Amino acid sequence: MDKNTINVGLIGFGTIGSGVVAIFNENIDLIQKKVGKEVNLKKVVDLDITTPRGVEIAPEKLSTEINDILEDPEIDIVIELMGGYEPARTFILKALENGKHVVSANKALLAKHWEELNSAAQENGVRICFEASVGGGIPVLQPLNESLAANHMESIYGIINGTANYILTKMSREGLEFKEVLQEAQEKGYAEQDPTFDIEGHDTAQKLIILTIMGFGEYVKQENFHVEGITRITPEDIQFASEELGYVIKLLGIARKVDSELEVRVHPTLIPQDHLLASVNDVFNGVYIVGDAVGPVMLYGQGAGMMPTASAVLGDCLDIINHPQKNIPYGPPESQVKNIKDLDNVISKYYIRLTALDQPGVLYRISKILRNYNISLESVTQKKRSHGQAVPIFMVTHEALEKNIKQAMEEIDSLNVVQEKSMFIRVLED
């Protein structure tokens, strides 16, 4: 990319696309000084080019025809911000085949079609960059791929969904029920009208796939690891974790190497209150990385939003202009792990919440089942007594095998004295 003018084409003129145009308008002098070349946003393509976006753009730069970007030999970099699987996948592949570098924030597409997209970039000698796909404006992927490249990664823990984090933060601060906070989040625009993708952990899972590629050189499809959301978390869980145990509850994406095996999972997690991730609140994101040489590194910031995400998009563009042949293929050259560890074989401490009748012998029966599965208890708390009525019982185990916990809880739930399906949450200790 040795010519003096670099032309950029933008597919998708929505919220993030508008942010990209705004940064071009406001910071073009800074951008051009940093690359030593003229950088021109030549064309913006969207199905709707008439609705005002609140940013200035010359009418001749707007188009509804995708080939005005894909087939234009003068366009060097294509930014894809339309989202979804199709036609985004087709457009990106065509751009790569035509020798154009690609920048995308499309975590869903990357997580599902990583091998195909990365191979297409490699075969055509161009780059595909996607810093904005994880953590919005937080620099995460470039540090993993460059600054921390001399490390064997030990673990990556991410609070990487602002909706879920906002809900858990609000529940913690105000003692509100999940459904009540979700409704407020929807009213404020922090949650979609259909929030399933966020609250059930799928958004976190897609971002974790990308982090796992960058950190461990391993592509793990979502169907191959455990994904669990936050819908069953109660104010009682949060209060007990905080006041009695000294923990906070967060929805965590975990990629963790144990010996030569990699654990990949998404679920609510009890985190010690003095852990750096415990202070990541509201809609903010945080990624906690541990390398064998560097030790712990914390990356924190706005995980979404127009301008933070657009900032990451244009950061990728500048990096491509300065280093057009860097890191092809993108990411570690080979896997740092031998295999993916099945969740049943994961060892963890567990927080357990039961609702059982307050009768003599109930705790004995429950404890006996746990002992039969080699599960020992660190603590047992019954917060209130009401003889013959259902009461909550809170337990914390010592380290136990996931498979044993599942089997024990299934057996406990079958007891006639247990009134509701039990809840268990894994505990993060390191």
Percent of the residues in the chain that have a pLDDT greater than 70, as a whole number: 97
Rounded to 10°, the helix 202-216/107-123 angle is 30
Mean pLDDT of the region 123-130: 95
190 pLDDT band (50/70/90 cuts)? confident
83 pLDDT band (50/70/90 cuts)? very high
Percent of the residues in the chain that have a pLDDT greater than 90, as a whole number: 84
**Sequence-ordered list of residues with C-beta below 8 angstroms from that of 90, at least 6 positions apart, any chain:** none
Mean pLDDT of the region 177-188: 92
Mean pLDDT of the region 390-396: 90
Query: According to the model, what pLDDT value does residue 1 have?
Result: 63
Query: According to the model, what pLDDT value does residue 189 have?
Result: 85
**Sign of CA pseudo-dihedral 165, 169, 170, 175:** positive
Active centre residues (catalytic): 207
DSSP annotation of 418 reads B
Q: Is the pLDDT of residue 385 over 80?
A: no
Element holding 252 (H helix, E strand): strand 247-258
Task: Output the average pLDDT for the chain.
Answer: 93
Mean pLDDT of the region 165-169: 96
Query: According to the model, what pLDDT value does residue 120 have?
Result: 95
Q: Which domains does the chain have, with CATH numbers?
A: 5-137 (3.40.50.720), 141-302 (3.30.360.10), 344-427 (3.30.70.260)
Query: According to the model, what pLDDT value does residue 330 have?
Result: 54
**282 close to 250: Cβ distance less than 8 angstroms:** no
Query: According to the model, what pLDDT value does residue 326 have?
Result: 75
333 pLDDT band (50/70/90 cuts)? low
Query: According to the model, what pLDDT value does residue 205 have?
Result: 98
pLDDT tens-place string over residues 286-302: 999 999 999 999 999 98
pLDDT tens-place string over residues 55-78: 999 999 999 999 999 999 999 999
Q: Which of 327, 288, 269 has the alpha carbon at shortest distance from 118?
A: 327
31 pLDDT band (50/70/90 cuts)? very high
Q: Which of 105, 32, 25 has the alpha carbon at shortest distance from 312?
A: 105
Query: According to the model, what pLDDT value does residue 388 have?
Result: 63
Query: According to the model, what pLDDT value does residue 386 have?
Result: 64
